[in-house]
Chains A and B, each alone.
Chain A
Amino acid sequence: MQSWRRRKSLWLILSASWLLLVLLGGFSLLRLALPSRPRPGAPQGWPRWLDAELLQSFSQAGELPEDAASPQAPHGGSCNWGACFDTSKCRGDGLKVFVYPASGPISETHHRILASIEGSRFHTFSPAGACLLLLLSLDAQTGECSSMPLQWNRGRNHLVLRLHPAPCPKTFQLGQAMVAEASPTVDSFRPGFDVALPFLPEAHPLRGGAPGQLQQHSPQPGITLLALEEERGGWRTADTGSSACPWDARCEQDPGPGQTQRGETLPNATFCLISGHRPEAASRFLQALQVLAALQEMSPARVLALRQQTQFLWDAYFSSVEKVIHTTLEVIQDRIFGTSAHPSLLWNSPPGALLALSTFSTSPQDFPFYHLQQGSRPEGRFSALIWVGPPGQPPLKLIQAVAGSQHCAQILVLWSNERPLPSSWPETAMPLTVIDGHRKVSDRFFPYSTIRTDAILSLDARSSLSTSEVDFAFVVWQSFPERMVGFLTSSHFWDEAHGGWGYTAERTNEFSMVLTTAAFYHRYYHTLFTHSLPKALRTLADEAPTCVDVLMNFLVAAVTKLPPIKVPYGKQRQEAAPLASGGPGPRSKPQAAAPDCVNQIAAAFGHMPLLSSRLRLDPVLFKDPVSVQRKKYRSLEKP
């Protein structure tokens, strides 16, 4: 009985288990048992051949092409860089450009363009020493056409610059001359040889130029507005709602008229569609809607990145006639330089290739601008460059203070006065180099090859700094390697009464310049100062030494588009006056020179790059009510 009961319970469990098995596993087993047919949906893939290992290679040994083709000239009639440009004349220091003087009366624009090229670092007065001969052919207004110049030589090493579509008939064969013109056509354009220019309106500013006008720097999901250029200068807009066309299907019906804006003003759209040829307007609008649908698939962050890039490109290369011309020359110079041309990064990220000279370096890490993109950091040491002006006292105390900094790598003394060099210098652990300068103020910013660090601490012999101050300022500079970090400041302001710029070294709530008599900056700015500024400006600085500070601040601000940085300076009250009164040079010099130089420099730059800042960077615990023992930069606390 018991065994029967047990048997019964066993059977019960047994059948229950079977039920479970059938329920849970049956289907899977069934699937397994049936031969697996290729199921629709599951990709079949390329078969794994059983004899894949045995397959032969596509090329067999000994099949090397032995017969060498003759070196065919790939260029029939059209020129290329190697064949039609003679770089042998460009060996020395890059591109030297000779501009043909205008023959006969010329327009104001023509005149100013000539002047601008003549003032640039590319210019040379001798056609024999020039590597590029530039022929301006832009007199749209006067209707005057340039005639064949003397040194034409079939156009070899010539650049014909046409800013506006040429009304002139081709009076002479262009031959081997490069042509830079707006909107060239595919048929006549020789890639890698000719240069395509933007189409510039007549009223384009000669220099400076207005910055971009992008207002919103946030991604705006959901807002996509496309404007389509219409004939007669109007714009037709379409937004997300009006588009019924998916981008991946053909669109057949015009979903009705979008808004059409007439007039010169650009619509406030995210995208503008510019098409070269002008077929029937209606079908173009349909295409535009499809473009819009495709553009909507872009992430808002990417749209913003593109918008910002347009601003950068505009500001770096397009906003003035001078920039367009300089960009053209820079493009040609890059071709001449070949391997030492600008890397792509330098062209495509701020501050742009016109301000990042490839003669300085071709490695982006050497510049102060690209550390984030490169994942690199500026060097952890600095070089102190002490300028000893007319009084000619060896700055012993200053050397001691600077040498005491743990970040100091070397000290350079730029001896620039009538007195003979002192024979003995203070004993420091730092390597000390004395350079006998040429009494010129602009020498202070010469790119001396002895400077081996990224950071320069520029000092005047009469400056007075403590080691703490130097240390803290350098640590701050490491966070902002592209800016100037200084102790004493001055400001510019718009002087309504005189209708010009004013300059003041008084202490105010804001500042726009730091004095280079005590400031950290990147060594690249020495190269930029010496090699990119027009000669006229450097002469100005030599003649009015107070201007050299202003000029350097202009230069750095024009590159960074940011104000400099001020750090605390302990001896502000006692010794600010001599420092602030205008840097190197005899102190008796009237201060009135300064405002003038601000105006002159601003005129040469074409705009006012200086920006004001209202903040000072202090140590985190600066003057906080906490024990001085906790503070790292204690001596800054002293009143």
Chain B
Amino acid sequence: MFTLPQKDFSAPTTCLGPACMQDLGSSHGDDLEGECSRKLDQKLPELPGVGDSAMFSPDTSYLSSRGRMIKWFWDSAEEGYRTYHMDEYDENKNPSGIINLGVSENKLCFDLLSWRLSQSDMQRVEPSLLQYADWRGHLFLREEVAKFLSFYCKSPAPLRPENECEKEAVCVIMCASVKYNIRGPALIPRMKTKHRIYYITLFSIVLLGLIATGMFQFWPHSIESSNDWNVEKRSVRDVPVVRLPADSPIPERGDLSCRMHTCFDVYRCGFNPKNKIKVYIYALKKYVDDFGVPVSNTISREYNELLTAISDSDYYTDDINRACLFVPSIDVLNQNTLRIKETAQALAQLSRWDRGTNHLLFNMLPGGPPDYNTALDVPRDSPRRYFLISSQVGLHPEYREDLEALQVKHGESVLVLDKCTNLSEGGLSIRKRCHKHQVFDYPQVLQEATFCVVLRGARLGQAILSDVLQAGCVPVVIADSYILPFSEVLDWKRASVVVPEEKMSDVYSILQSIPQRQIEEMQRQARWFWEAYFQSIKAIALATLQIINDRIYPYAAISYEEWNDPPAVKWGSVSNPLFLPLIPPQSQGFTAIVLTYDRVESLFRVITEVSKVPSLSKLLVVWNNQNKNPPEDSLWPKIRVPLKVVRTAENKLSNRFFPYDEIETEAVLAIDDDIIMLTSDELQFGYEVWREFPDRLVGYPGRLHLWDHEMNKWKYESEWTNEVSMVLTGAAFYHKYFNYLYTYKMPGDIKNWVDAHMNCEDIAMNFLVANVTGKAVIKVTPRKKFKCPECTAIDGLSLDQTHMVERSECINKFASVFGTMPLKVVEHRADPVLYKDDFPEKLKSFPNIGSL
């Protein structure tokens, strides 16, 4: 497969010769960037024939042998290049806005690049992967380039350096070629001829050096990553011929009692990293018998497509020794055209056949020719005229009688079609169906029906199923013991109605009883199955390999939801990792984790306060200061529970959320070393609340995120609001699971961002928990004055505008990494049952709540 390493994708010289350049702006969606690249685009057409052979006329005596060699390569691929230049800015051929600037060109390169760049995964680029932090290159270079272009290219208006956003290497190469090809002659006559020669030579050499540098930098990557360069282009007719003697061995018949664990050798898959099977495809051969008569068609279009899809996928390997699944290139898609015995002999002589162990054969039964597929890719949403339709031809008379009885009984809403007998054109009859004398277009007529019958025909497997799915019609399968395609992973109950053959006469009433909403869901599901797994040969091939992969690596298998839920459901849903509704026993207690740097006095006060909470079972101090040792053991406060000090290797905020082995309880209380104002009642009550909501963040100070309509972005809010969407982890209970998630499963570069900014670890935790559970936080107890960066006036950061701006930045950054805003806004907080009620204080379980 042709893949550019992402790191280099922005480099234009990835292909043969510094010929192709892409529009950087469009690939990462930055408006500013997009705009400036566009300007360059618009200017370029004024340049005359870039890359004309003027520069390298055949008798360039100025070039050394090495230079000539390079030049030879430039000339070699010029044919495609010229064709391309007939219309460089063609809307159809070059929709991605790829600019061609080179001195030489290669059509293949251009096509591959344009194909690669228009893939969906090129829309997004991790900035860290880019070679330069500054996207537009260095300013001084841009200025130079702008000057150069303005002057030499006689730009109507001076170019603005900030608009020159290509990478340096490109600029220089481009300018050089621009100068030499176009404006060079105008400049040169001012000098003496011999100086001219020197200058030309000098420039040529500098230019060559630069080009060579470019090649050196980028070629190795492109060569390694694009095996397309090495893919041979050959004709199917040229494949080697293999003669099969009539007495060559015939393999045993298929063993019906085969199971995955008896007939498949999983040990062969042991070499395969990342839980991915490796598939080998045998080279294509042409098999002939003793008389030179071919055994079968060499290969069909579909099988070629299928093998190409496998070869392009991650499953493919060309190393037969590392493969765990083998796909013969002998085409057995249609067994009607096969000479069974000879094909079996051909299979048997494959180098790794071994009674067929670990071999995969694709056999698709003949159906209608698939040439109508393109005609109806989008089913209409218009109301469907027929409730039930049957469009199969060649049905058994018994079935047809049953169907016709249905039609008589239910009239207009049932349509039973058959082959047209009175049509003159034979070729078209395949696309026509008739009812009495009425002629219908097939398969378009399927779009008119809500339900489509898939009946037992000459063979169990039916091409009609594909047609039905594609038309967005719900299949009604009436064929006992028909194994629906991919039924191992696909839940056909969601997309079809299966009716036993015995109950065929009841079909109508069965279907009538399905509520409209369920019908709509089935239609959507059928459509999704079609699009995801049946639409193309490629989809079928990949789904097949995925199923085998799931069998071999069951612990890494794709889940039911991933196979069956349409993308819209997948996107909106969450699967809470702590999905069991349960209340952990109170006896387990919680572990308090105090993150500290060097405020020992305050830390000791926190420890003393927290140790008064009845349910505390352990105290863990995370000592984040590498330059200073924690106080001696004797100095620590004496408390009734075990106290452990963990020293960290680096002063990182993420250390607070590490899943330390010392945490034995499920509940964790994260508390800052300066939170001394929480009473024991409040902490104990917080733990009780957490027990009722063990999959949520349960914290004390609450915060809110708001959408700023003026700035069009998220804003952090710490005022007295009626809503909360976050709690600060300066004092919060949560499940230990989230430590694991924070440390190992935090998406994107959020962890690094937090450690680099030394801020927002709590916002990150709020995002993480809300995203994975889909649930809101619980704020406990009334608002208090907290000593926290944004609400006290002690350390100067107080209510500091910059702090709030930074927190807002965090929200925006995290929302973009998560691709959504997972935080949920709620209007409630948790208080003890009798809080502020007119009730004797001493009878209340948690009297000391909310006091300042």
Give Cα distance in the complex from A110 to B849, angstroms: 56
Give Cα distance in the complex from A17 to B427, angstroms: 70
Whether A21 contacts B208 by the Cβ 8 Å rule is yes
Residue of chain A at shortest CB distance from B399:
A71
A349-B579 contact given A50-B234, A56-B297, A374-B573, CB 8 Å threshold = yes
Give Cα distance in the complex from A330 to B579, angstroms: 24
Whether A65 contacts B366 by the Cβ 8 Å rule is yes
Residues in chain A near residue B220, CB distance under 8 A = 28
Does B253 reach chain A (CB closer than 8 Å)?
no
Q: Which of B127-135, B169-177, B755-763, B822-830 contacts A (4 or more CB under 8 A)?
A: B822-830
Smallest distance from the beta carbon of A314 to chain B beta carbons, Å?
11
Smallest distance from the beta carbon of B662 to chain A beta carbons, Å?
13
A250-B267 contact given A46-B311, A67-B458, A479-B828, CB 8 Å threshold = yes
Whether B395 contacts A301 by the Cβ 8 Å rule is no
Whether B318 contacts A44 by the Cβ 8 Å rule is yes
Q: Which of B369, B457, B831 contacts A60 (CB 8 A)?
A: B369
Q: Which of B393, B493, B513, B776 is packed against the most chain A CB atoms within 10 Å?
A: B493
Whether B396 contacts A561 by the Cβ 8 Å rule is no
Smallest distance from the beta carbon of B237 to chain A beta carbons, Å?
7
Q: Which of A247, A350, A572 contacts B581 (CB 8 A)?
A: A350
Residues in chain B near residue A17, CB distance under 8 A = 202, 205-206, 208-209
Give Cα distance in the complex from A82 to B505, angstroms: 12
A344-B493 contact given A59-B369, A339-B518, CB 8 Å threshold = yes
Give Cα distance in the complex from A71 to B455, angstroms: 10
Interface set, chain B 284-340, CB cutoff 8 A to A: 284, 297, 299-304, 307-308, 310-312, 316-318, 331, 333-334, 336-337
Smallest distance from the beta carbon of B580 to chain A beta carbons, Å?
5
Interface set, chain A 67-107, CB cutoff 8 A to B: 67-71, 74-75, 80-83, 87
Residues in chain B near residue A639, CB distance under 8 A = 838
Whether A375 contacts B267 by the Cβ 8 Å rule is no
Q: Is the interface of B mostly helix, strand, loop or mixed?
A: mixed
Whether B334 contacts A59 by the Cβ 8 Å rule is yes
* Number of residues of chain B lying within 8 A (CB) of chain A: 166
Give Cα distance in the complex from A562 to B691, angstroms: 11
Q: Which of B510, B581, B783 contacts A338 (CB 8 A)?
A: B510
Give Cα distance in the complex from A59 to B303, angstroms: 11
Interface set, chain B 639-682, CB cutoff 8 A to A: 659, 666
Q: Which of A50, A561, A631 is packed against the most chain B CB atoms within 10 Å?
A: A50
Smallest distance from the beta carbon of B320 to chain A beta carbons, Å?
11
Does B768 reach chain A (CB closer than 8 Å)?
no
Residues in chain A near residue B480, CB distance under 8 A = 74-75, 80, 82
Give Cα distance in the complex from A13 to B209, angstroms: 12
A82-B502 contact given A28-B219, A57-B300, A349-B579, CB 8 Å threshold = yes
Residues in chain A near residue B393, CB distance under 8 A = 64, 66
Q: Which of B626-634, B734-742, B804-812 contacts A (4 or more CB under 8 A)?
A: B734-742
Whether A46 contacts B307 by the Cβ 8 Å rule is yes
Does B834 reach chain A (CB closer than 8 Å)?
yes
Give Cα distance in the complex from A560 to B582, angstroms: 9
Interface set, chain A 240-255, CB cutoff 8 A to B: 246-250
Whether A617 contacts B829 by the Cβ 8 Å rule is yes
Q: Which of A250, A338, A479 is packed against the most chain B CB atoms within 10 Å?
A: A338
Whether B689 contacts A615 by the Cβ 8 Å rule is yes
Give Cα distance in the complex from A621 to B837, angstroms: 16
Residues in chain B near residue A479, CB distance under 8 A = 776, 826, 828
Proximity string of chain B (564-605) to chain A, C-beta cutoff 8 Å, 1 when within and 0 when not: 100011011111111111111000000000000000000000
Whether A49 contacts B236 by the Cβ 8 Å rule is yes
Proximity string of chain B (552-573) to chain A, C-beta cutoff 8 Å, 1 when within and 0 when not: 0101100011001000110111
Q: Which of B92-100, B113-121, B719-727 contacts A (4 or more CB under 8 A)?
A: B719-727
Residues in chain B near residue A632, CB distance under 8 A = 722, 827
Whether B827 contacts A33 by the Cβ 8 Å rule is no
Interface set, chain A 307-332, CB cutoff 8 A to B: 308, 311-312
Residue of chain B at shortest CB distance from A82:
B500
Does B367 reach chain A (CB closer than 8 Å)?
yes
Smallest distance from the beta carbon of A485 to chain B beta carbons, Å?
10
Residue of chain A at shortest CB distance from B852:
A625
Residues in chain A near residue B560, CB distance under 8 A = 344, 348
Give Cα distance in the complex from A611 to B581, angstroms: 12
Smallest distance from the beta carbon of A211 to chain B beta carbons, Å?
8
Does B73 reach chain A (CB closer than 8 Å)?
yes
Interface set, chain A 488-517, CB cutoff 8 A to B: 489, 507-511
Q: Which of A146-154, A213-221, A425-433, A594-602 contacts B (4 or more CB under 8 A)?
A: A213-221
Does B356 reach chain A (CB closer than 8 Å)?
no
- Count class of interface residues, chain A: 35 or more
Residues in chain A near residue B833, CB distance under 8 A = 489, 507-511, 566, 613-616
Residues in chain B near residue A615, CB distance under 8 A = 685, 688-689, 692, 830-833
Does A24 reach chain B (CB closer than 8 Å)?
yes
Residues in chain A near residue B688, CB distance under 8 A = 614-615
Whether B503 contacts A82 by the Cβ 8 Å rule is yes
Give Cα distance in the complex from A278 to B70, angstroms: 72
Q: Which of A25, A44, A507 contacts B213 (CB 8 A)?
A: A25
A297-B577 contact given A46-B311, A64-B366, CB 8 Å threshold = no
Does A305 reach chain B (CB closer than 8 Å)?
yes
Interface set, chain B 155-209, CB cutoff 8 A to A: 198, 201-202, 205-206, 208-209
Residue of chain A at shortest CB distance from B72:
A33
Q: Which of A63, A344, A348 contacts B366 (CB 8 A)?
A: A63
Does A276 reach chain B (CB closer than 8 Å)?
no
A219-B737 contact given A44-B227, A65-B457, A82-B480, CB 8 Å threshold = yes
Does A199 reach chain B (CB closer than 8 Å)?
no
Smallest distance from the beta carbon of A496 to chain B beta carbons, Å?
20
Residues in chain B near residue A507, CB distance under 8 A = 833-834, 837, 839
Whether A561 contacts B394 by the Cβ 8 Å rule is no
Whether B368 contacts A64 by the Cβ 8 Å rule is yes
A374-B569 contact given A50-B235, A566-B833, A621-B722, CB 8 Å threshold = yes
Whether B234 contacts A52 by the Cβ 8 Å rule is no
Whether B500 contacts A47 by the Cβ 8 Å rule is no
Give Cα distance in the complex from A36 to B719, angstroms: 68
Residues in chain A near residue B267, CB distance under 8 A = 248-250
Proximity string of chain A (328-349) to chain B, C-beta cutoff 8 Å, 1 when within and 0 when not: 0000000000111101100011
Residues in chain B near residue A59, CB distance under 8 A = 333-334, 336, 364, 366-367, 369
Residues in chain A near residue B776, CB distance under 8 A = 479
Residues in chain A near residue B229, CB distance under 8 A = 36
Give Cα distance in the complex from A26 to B64, angstroms: 13
Residue of chain B at shortest CB distance from A17:
B205
Whether B720 contacts A624 by the Cβ 8 Å rule is yes
Residues in chain B near residue A300, CB distance under 8 A = 740
Whether B219 contacts A55 by the Cβ 8 Å rule is no
A343-B494 contact given A21-B66, A57-B301, A616-B830, CB 8 Å threshold = yes
Does A14 reach chain B (CB closer than 8 Å)?
yes
Does A1 reach chain B (CB closer than 8 Å)?
no
Residues in chain A near residue B745, CB distance under 8 A = 301
Give Cα distance in the complex from A560 to B568, angstroms: 27
Interface set, chain A 28-44, CB cutoff 8 A to B: 28-29, 31-33, 36, 38-39, 42-44
Residues in chain A near residue B367, CB distance under 8 A = 59, 64
Whether A69 contacts B396 by the Cβ 8 Å rule is yes
Residues in chain B near residue A83, CB distance under 8 A = 500, 502
Whether A623 contacts B836 by the Cβ 8 Å rule is yes
Does B258 reach chain A (CB closer than 8 Å)?
no
A304-B577 contact given A45-B231, A47-B233, CB 8 Å threshold = yes
Does B749 reach chain A (CB closer than 8 Å)?
no
A-B contact pairs, 15 of them (CB 8 A): A24-B213, A25-B212, A31-B219, A42-B227, A45-B1, A48-B228, A57-B302, A58-B301, A248-B270, A341-B493, A375-B572, A509-B845, A561-B581, A615-B689, A620-B828
Kindly list the 9 A-B residue pairs having the minimum CB-CB distance in the complex, ordered from nearest. Answer: A25-B212, A375-B572, A82-B500, A248-B270, A46-B311, A58-B300, A65-B458, A59-B366, A509-B845
